[in-house]
Amino acid sequence: MNSKEIEQKIIENYQKDEQMMILIFAQWCVNHDLDPTEVYFRAYPHQSANYALKQTIDLTVPKGESEHIPDQTLLNVLSLYDNEELAFVVTEEIKKRKKDR
């Protein structure tokens, strides 16, 4: 492999991993009766529509069919991709959920 091919492979792997992060976020939202788009736009209100999020929401399953996604797992994944604003909004939702119990 030449350096251009290696660079392309790294980019492709990053994009696949980023899509997995988006899927984990979207499924976590579904599992907690939250709208992933609404939660996302609370974190990033000045961003235009996120095509990757919209596309990934179609891959989520009903919460009864999903595996449990621990809150900390989602927060760790968001942090890994420097989504601190989204992690902040997710943390607010976790606190709200725990308060309502």
Per-position pLDDT tens, the chain of length 101 = 788 888 888 888 878 888 999 999 999 999 999 999 999 999 999 988 888 899 999 999 999 999 999 999 999 999 998 999 999 999 999 999 988 77
Q: Which residues contact 28 (CB under 8 A, 6 or more apart)?
A: 69, 71, 74, 90
For residue 100, the model assigns a pLDDT of: 79
Whole-number Å distance between alpha carbons of 99 and 94: 9
For residue 76, the model assigns a pLDDT of: 95
Whole-number Å distance between alpha carbons of 14 and 29: 23
Neighbours of 3 (CB within 10 A): 7
DSSP state of 47: S
Domain assignments of the chain as residue spans, ordered by start: 3-100
